[in-house]
Structure 1
Amino acid sequence: MQSKYVFPIWARPKHIDLRETFGHWEGDLVIGKKSAGHSSLLTLVERKSRLGIIVKVSSKNPFTLIKFFMKE
């Protein structure tokens, strides 16, 4: 089941910290230098497997980032 909402780390259920089930992802945004055109990197890490994904994004706008997640 996919959630429509993104929750902060402090609001996630405590059982997720145990890393016993696959499918719990953490994300972060690394914002590039202003002089380099504001390119940013979206980083995602799955908590159990520690699989990491890094994607270059053109905008740090939260609505643009949510659209990225909702792509099918």
Structure 2
Amino acid sequence: MWEDNSTLNKGTTTRQNMFDWIVNKKGIAYVEDRGNKIPVYGAVTPDGKKYIRTVRDNAWTDELLNLDGF
């Protein structure tokens, strides 16, 4: 689920659409954990699979695995 903080609109989307929004449309995404905003980035595996990941303290993390729907 996503939420636009400026409009408070909420919805759902696919990982591919989120990847496209972050990477190709220069969208800014993050997850919140205890008040901390953790950035979400697009990434690509060596075999070309597109996915999204989080970064915390300059290290790739798996914050998205803790969210509903992942």
TM-score normalised by length of structure 2: 0.31
Greater strand proportion = 2
Please identify the structure whose Cα radius of gyration is greater: 1
Greater helix proportion = 1
